[in-house]
Copies of this chain bind each other. A is one copy, B any other.
Amino acid sequence: MREKITPRSQDYSKWYTEVIRQAELADYAPVRGCMVIRPYGYALWEHVKEGLDRRFKETGHENAYFPLFVPMSLIEKEAQHVEGFAPELAVVTHGGGKELEEPLVVRPTSETVVGYMYSQWIQSYRDLPVLINQWANVVRWELRTRLFLRTMEFLWQEGHTAHATAEEAQEETLRMLEVYADFTINDAAIPVLQGRKSESEKFPGAETSYSIEAMMGDRRALQSGTSHYFGQKFAKAFDIQYQDENGKLQYCWTTSWGMSTRMIGAIIMVHGDDQGLVLPPRLAPIQVVVVPIWKKEEERTVVLEAVETMKAALGACVRLKVDDRDEYSPGWKFNDWELRGVPLRIEIGPRDVAKEQVVLARRDQPGRAGKSFVPLAGITDAVTDALAQVQNDMLKRATEFRDANTHEPADYDSFRDAVAQGFARAWWCGDVTCEDKVKEDTQATTRCIPLDQLEGNGQCIVCGNPASEMTIFGRSY
């Protein structure tokens, strides 16, 4: 029997790691700070990828693949960019048994190598826009790592686009932010705030950075996807020029945007409970698990026969798993699949077969409230409806939790209390001095300046000076 998971209320961080390891989502690799994504975790990632990739293609993007290694001289071309990434680089100095003339950086992100290629591919306004995405691994030398949230190597997608005008590039930046929000809300059942990052929280080299921010189960924030507008900074650093309709050379306007395996961390933390994972049906590798129940051998035959019939119909509509292992009891299996967060469980014993019914149990509503009897005849509709209901309820519950823990403090004292307990939405003058003071006093940072703003103005929650935008503050991962 496996060990009981530490309750969330006792040690949230321990709970998080135990859920990941016991549910076999991931494991520690033999290299410090790196992880192995195990089959169950990778299947979840495959569904995340599908949900995003479909949306990228629907918005006109194509996939490509750029190299893992970036010559050191190339990464140094954009001053702010290299300044931001220099402390996190992994460097290859030897290859084929020899010391290299120029060290190669293992990509922390690919703006530089993409910029180099775009300068060759783009000649004319007819070549624009260029809308490319890549699915890849990247490496950032992190000292404090945590499974899925911050690992030295992680998997992600990075979109890189080039446009003829600033307006088009800005539209693209916000379009992709919206794509991330749409995926996260509708597929991952996680409510997010879309907003602009403050100057000090921007991506190195960006003119403007946007993010989606979600609230985890411990009321901390997780930046769950980012979209950057570069203006002409990278185009000038990498000489990405095009001839416009009048034959004049112009610099392009570029963007980039990314989402990573961090999203898995968000799914675990937003929805998980003391029994383990709770996975949103749209992304769950297994949507429905069937646990057949019997005592005598003749019951076994009868029950498994009914299961086979049900599987034939239901297996075509949902991702179904039948757990007919002999070596475990039904109770053990219930716990096991609860730990793994399978959204629906079907229990079927000899009496159910006789009554032509099954028991349907929802993972997101433990106990009797989530259980119902369903006639075998209407099983497909009942299961499809229940999955949709679970997906909706999970989003609703997460939204209510986020909203209940988002405060609008009237003064700095209540602001301090607010960010200790969740998010604070407050007026901010935009000055980095105020931002730094908040960080020092509370460990909280500006998460984002939401795109949705109220009319009017107010006074900065820190210094009292006039402020034109409300900002979300919170402690973050």
Which residues of A are at the interface with B, using a C-beta cutoff of 8 A? 27, 29-31, 34-39, 41-43, 45-46, 62-71, 74, 86-97, 103-104, 106, 113, 116-117, 120-121, 126, 132, 136-137, 139, 141, 143, 152-153, 155, 327
Contacts and interface: CB of A to CB of B under 8 A. Distances in A.
A244 to B, nearest CB: 15
Nearest to A91: B94
> Which of A66, A121, A132 lies at the interface centre, i.e. has the most chain B CB atoms within 10 A of its CB?
A66
A268 B116 CA distance: 27
Nearest to A151: B67
A91 B92 contact: yes
Contacts of A38: 64
A141 B69 CA distance: 12
Contacts of A67: 29-31, 34-36, 153
Given A37-B65, A42-B62, A92 B95 contact: no
Closest 4 CB pairs of A and B: A96-B141, A39-B62, A34-B67, A37-B65
Contact of A116 (B30, B91, B97, B141): B30
Contacts of A95: 89-91, 141
Contact of A66 (B36, B117, B327): B36
Given A94-B91, A106-B106, A31 B65 contact: no
Number of copies of this chain in the oligomer? 2
A429 B361 CA distance: 66
Contacts of A62: 39, 42-43
Given A63-B42, A117-B36, A132-B39, A153 B68 contact: yes
A155 B30 CA distance: 23
A90 to B, nearest CB: 5
B104 A94 contact: no
A31 B106 CA distance: 12
Residue from A46, A91, A121, A152 with most neighbouring chain B CB atoms (10 Å):
A91
A45 B65 CA distance: 10
Contacts of A143: 96
A86 to B, nearest CB: 7
Given A91-B93, A137-B137, 8 more contacts: A30-B70, A31-B70, A43-B62, A68-B68, A68-B106, A69-B90, A90-B94, A91-B92
Contacts of A36: 64-67, 117
A145 to B, nearest CB: 12
Most buried by B among A62, A88, A103, A136: A62
Contacts of A41: 64
Nearest to A113: B30
Contacts of A30: 67, 70-71, 74, 113, 116-117
Q: Which of A88, A89, A90 has the largest count of B CB atoms less than 10 A from its CB?
A: A90
Nearest to A138: B68
Contacts of A91: 92-95
Contacts of A137: 68, 136-137
A43 B70 contact: no
Contact of A92 (B92, B97, B113): B92
A91 B98 CA distance: 10
Given A42-B63, A104-B31, A153 B87 contact: no
Nearest to A136: B137
Contact of A126 (B43, B104, B152, B327): B327
A65 B89 contact: no
Contacts of A43: 62-63
B93 A87 contact: no
A327 B136 CA distance: 36
B63 A113 contact: no
A17 to B, nearest CB: 16
A137 B27 CA distance: 20
A155 to B, nearest CB: 6
Q: By CB atoms of chain B within 10 A, which of A88, A93, A96, A116 has the most?
A: A96
A27 B67 CA distance: 11
A263 to B, nearest CB: 14
A336 to B, nearest CB: 14
Contacts of A106: 68, 92, 106
Contacts of A153: 67-69
